[in-house]
Amino acid sequence: MRYLRETLCATAAATMTLALAAPALAAEAAPNYVALGDSYSSGVGSREYFEDSGDCLRSPKSYAQLWADANGAALTFNACSGATTDDVNADQLSGLGADTTLVTISVGGNDVGFSGVVQDCLLGSDDSCDSAVSAAEEKGRSELPGKLDTTYANIKQAAPNAQVVVLGYPRLNQPTGDCGIPGFSEAKRQRINAGADVLAGVISERAEAAGFTFADPREVFDGHGVCSDSEWINGPSNPLQESFHPNASGYSEGYLPTLTAAIG
């Protein structure tokens, strides 16, 4: 009987110890998440920004913040509007470390001149839009791969234990049908979308070469581009910086499910 009592006491004590330790174990398991990249990472287009983020325009409605909130993650939010690969390497990697468990990044659009292409297509002719997109595609094929390789290698070195998810860009436009934007022809919309496909091919190839996961939002955004009946991407906007970026629905209904599926 004495042996039985001692065994029961020992079992109860062990159970209590595990129960007391459970919150600590849960806290240790919380993702240590660092969000890097450009305006599509920071949440531009959502029209709501953290006051202390300044010109980086980091939003509580960005996919990074939404995922962190939903998963109890400790988020280091370094993404910044306007960032190129050089900016990521110079300014955003300090938050990474051996204890980082998740990194997300979308970058490359500014390296190939995203904002200039959109401006040329809105204000110019079909031919000038085609030329602008073609120039961006050439940059994407010739210059961007090396820049991405360097950026991804730096991330891997700084956060060797992290899962890294590279998020691409959606096709921006509803390619056919009526559009209330003067001069924004079907030819222009289709040409911009074709450029997005080229960019996706470059980014996905380099992400996979680095051993990272590529999360492609194009399919989930189809039918929700500029000039669609259910826009998840802003058309020309005031302030101008909101233009041709996902709106709040684009981040919550488009990017967030894309990221969640990629993380697994």
Domains of the chain plus CATH, in order, are: 32-263 (3.40.50.1110)
List of residues 6+ apart from 110 with CB closer than 8 A: 38, 82, 83, 84
DSSP letters, 26-92, are HHHHS-EEEEEESHHHHTTTSS---GGGGGG---TTSHHHHHHHHHT-EEEE---TT--HHHIIIII
CA distance 202 to 166: 12
Instruction: Answer yes or no: is pLDDT of 164 > 90.
Output: yes
Q: Which residue has the tokens 């990221």?
A: 259
Least confident segment among 8-12, 78-82, 128-132:
8-12
CA distance 23 to 36: 29
Catalytic residue among 128, 245, 249, 252: 245
One-letter identity of residue 167: L
Query: Is residue 39 annotated as a catalytic residue, yes or no?
Result: yes
Least confident segment among 24-38, 107-121, 233-247:
24-38
Q: Which helix (H) or strand (E) holds 105?
A: strand 102-106
Q: Which helix (H) or strand (E) holds 215?
A: strand 213-215
List of residues 6+ apart from 109 with CB closer than 8 A: 38, 40, 169, 199
Instruction: Answer yes or no: is pLDDT of 7 > 60.
Output: no
Mean pLDDT of 239-243: 95
Catalytic residue among 39, 42, 81, 106: 39
* Percent of the chain whose predicted confidence (pLDDT) is above 70: 89
Rg (CA), the chain: 22
Place 17 in a pLDDT band, splitting at 50, 70 and 90: very low
Instruction: Answer yes or no: is pLDDT of 26 > 70.
Output: no
Residue-level pLDDT at 29: 72
What would the 3-class secondary structure string for 157-176 be?
HHCCCCEEEEECCCCCECCC
Q: Which residue has the higher pLDDT, 37 or 178?
A: 37
Instruction: Answer yes or no: is pLDDT of 220 > 90.
Output: yes
